[in-house]
Structure 1
Amino acid sequence: MRSTFKTVFYVNGSKERNGVVPIMGRVTINGTIAQFSCKLSVTK
């Protein structure tokens, strides 16, 4: 049986505060998604 694994990191522009946006992560394993905050931010 074949399984799939994907990771994605992105900035969440809708949560911008004072020009700073959080970095979010998403892991997908066989269609099951888990999202998390990396607890890091970058300037927009």
Structure 2
Amino acid sequence: DPLWADTLGPEGSSGATYIGSIAANTSAIVRGLSGGRVRCTPRA
């Protein structure tokens, strides 16, 4: 999954807010590092 970086995403996306983008990035990193075996659902 792509990560949100230097800008927020469009309204309605997982990166529309700062907290949402951090939560989405955390989830994507956990899935990537675990090969998809571990899921992380941060509370945004």
Identify which of structures 1 and 2 has the higher relative contact order when contacts are C-alpha pairs closer than 8 Å and 6+ apart. Answer: 1
Which structure dedicates a bigger proportion of its chain to helix? 2
Structure whose CA Rg is larger:
1
Question: So what's the TM-score if we normalise by structure 1?
Answer: 0.25
Which structure dedicates a bigger proportion of its chain to strand? 1
